[in-house]
Amino acid sequence: MADKVQEIEEIIDKYVTAGKILSQVRSEAKDRIKVGVSLLEIAEFVENRAIELGADGSAFPCNISRNDEAAHATPLAGDTTVFGEDVIKLDLGVHVDGYIADSAITIDLSGDYTDLVKASEAGLEAAIDTVKNGVNTADVGAAIEDAIISHGFKPVGNLTGHGLARYIPHAPPSIPNRRMGMGVELKTGDFIAIEPFATDGVGKVVDGSLTEIFQLVGKKPVRLPAARKLLKELEQYKTLPFAKRWLKSPQLDFALMQLERSGIIHSYPVLKEVGGGMVSQTEHTVIVTDDGCEVTTR
| Residues recognised as catalytic | 91, 102, 162, 170, 195, 283
- CA 180 – CA 67 distance, rounded (Å): 27
Whether 185 has a binding-site annotation, put simply, is no
Query: By three-state DSSP, how is residue 223 classified?
Result: coil
Which helix H or strand E contains 279, and what residues bound it? strand 279-281
Whether 195 has a binding-site annotation, put simply, is yes
- CA 290 – CA 298 distance, rounded (Å): 20
Whether 91 has a binding-site annotation, put simply, is yes
Whether 95 has a binding-site annotation, put simply, is no
Whether 284 has a binding-site annotation, put simply, is no
- CA 62 – CA 94 distance, rounded (Å): 10
Residues 6+ apart with CB under 8 A from 242: 60, 61, 213, 214, 215, 216, 234
Whether 10 has a binding-site annotation, put simply, is no
CA gyration radius, the chain = 19
Whether 69 has a binding-site annotation, put simply, is no
Which helix H or strand E contains 27, and what residues bound it? helix 2-32
Binding residues: 72, 91, 102, 162, 170, 195, 283
- Binding annotation for substrate: 72, 170
Annotated binding-site ranges for a divalent metal cation: 91, 102, 162, 195, 283
